[in-house]
Amino acid sequence: MAEKTVLITGAAGGIGQAVVKRFAGDKNFKRIVLIDHPSKRERMVYGSVAAKTSAMSCEYSFRYLDLADPSVHQLMAQLAASCKKIDVLVNTAGVAQEFGALIKTDLEKARKVMEINFWGTLQMCYAVLPYMRSAGYGRIVNISSIAARHGDAGNLIYAASKAAIESLTKTLAREATFNKDGAPFDITVNAVAPGIIDTDMAKLLSDKVKEAYSRGNPCGRLGSPEEVAKVIYWLATGAPQYLTGEIIRVDGGFLA
């Protein structure tokens, strides 16, 4: 039986905790590394305890990092080295903040959103990719948003950060497999683009926006963290190698 390692950022979030529970139930994964901001320490522990009930054999490791810190890739490189082998990276960490029109935007706060959402994702990929290439195998799953495809006035910064993640995903999918000495590496890079999901982040939206979204998709409701986690888990464990560089929407058909 394989003894795999998965790194999950944003592990304290609604989607993050659902992802943790998915991997905790897979006996092939012996080590789960949970990563989130230091302010989420208590919630992370609570979330991991809930996950342990379904898989007591998992080894949990906690890391509290600010993904906006420009030196985080160095810390992650150290973590990756201690793991020795990283099979899966799931980047669920992200923040949302509505700034209003661009001309009224606080640029410092906007920069922070870009750093956490895009730069944090990039730094994580940068840290783990050498180990995946060394092993010849890896699965990276990033989190975008339908906002990257469906522009909303007042949501420019968040949408731009997610569009950048989609570009990163597509380009890295091409780079990651390259092997000058032989057959392409078995490394895939994909992203999941959720619609409005019933998490704490959705609480930032008005009831009017959420009701309009529910009316506008065939399912007639918000999505659940578990539904997104199910797709993430499949991309990391069950999807074929030939599926890479893709952005998979989980939006109840909102953009259909």
**pLDDT of 125-150, one tens digit each?**
999 999 999 999 999 999 999 999 98
Q: Is 4-250 in CATH node 3.30.413.10?
A: no
Helix (H, G, I), strand (E, B) or coil at 170: helix
Active-site residue identified among 60, 64, 126, 158: 158
Catalytic residue flag (residue 158): yes
**pLDDT of 176-219, one tens digit each?**
999 988 899 999 999 999 999 999 889 888 899 999 999 999 99
Using a cut of 0.75, tell me whether the model's pTM lies above it: yes
How far apart (Å, rounded) are the C-alpha atoms in residues 16 and 36?
A: 9
How far apart (Å, rounded) are the C-alpha atoms in residues 126 and 133?
A: 11
Measuring CA to CA, how many Å separate 227 from each of 78, 207, 239?
33, 21, 16
**pLDDT of 44-96, one tens digit each?**
777 666 665 555 567 888 889 888 887 777 887 788 788 878 999 999 999 98
